[in-house]
Amino acid sequence: MKIKAPAPFTFEAGNRAVLLLHGFTGNSADVRMLGRYLQKQGYTCYAPILRGHGMEPENLLEATPAQWWEDVQNAYEHLQHLGYEEIAVAGLSMGGVLGIKLATEYKVTGLITMCSPMFFDNEHQLTDGFRMFAKQYKQFERKDRDTIATEVKEMMDQSRPMFTRIKDFVKEVNGIVDLIYTPTMVVQARKDEMINPESANYIYDTVETDQKQIKWYEKSGHVITTDKEKEQLHEDIYTFLQSLNWEQ
């Protein structure tokens, strides 16, 4: 059975724009509810699909952080081409890592990281997460159990270069966090099963901006945008965005 691929979305509202970035193995659906909420509050939101995501898991094996970085730059420029001059960025997990890099190289009104890794000490969790993602995708395709087991094993055997690239990228961004002078909100789920929650403290302590805050969510897991406290998260992000020095 062919699975319908998720698509990027643009929810237009006011003159202020927010670039929403999903995480590794995720897609735009992970930030759709946040996008709709912010649209109702007057913010335009755009969420791209990073290369290799939103399709068969085999595609991720060939995707690279360099390609994702290119996708994020293209997404930022897409909002500019639509006429938006003031852009904030909010990224979930790997999307937050990409958002940090964006804020060091482009004009960004505000930065929001959500459960974003700063240390590559979660390879075991990443491997399990990728294996589960691949298995579930193939179950949705209604493949039989033996076929799923064979295809997932083949993917896991080929996954080492992918995880090495991710490790190198996280390490690179870890080294530039102190270049952030953009107002920053750090979001972290207390029950995060995927990354080291100390990453949140590292980002908060290392950014150079004086306008920063860190928010912990006690009942949520890694994909905090769709978890138990998502409504509170939406409100907190809106409050942060309202506190920024928008020109319009």
Q: Measuring CA to CA, how many Å separate 78 from each of 44, 48, 86? A: 12, 10, 13
C-alpha 58/C-alpha 73 separation (Å) is 24
| Farthest-apart Cα atoms in the chain, separation | 58
- Contact yes or no for 70/33 (Cβ under 8 A): no
* Phi-psi sector, 236: left (phi>0), alpha (psi -120 to 50), beta: alpha
Contacts with 221 (C-beta within 8 Å, 6 or more apart), sequence order: 189, 191, 192, 193, 194, 227
Q: How far apart are the first and last CA of the chain?
A: 48
Q: Which of 107, 108, 86, 19 is nearest to 246 (CA)?
A: 86
The Cα 120–Cα 117 span in angstroms is 7
How many Å apart are CA 105 and CA 96, to the nearest integer? 14
Q: Nearest CA to 88 among 211, 223, 224? A: 211
Q: Report the C-alpha gap between 76 and 141 in whole angstroms.
A: 33
- The residues carrying an active-site annotation are 93, 192, 222
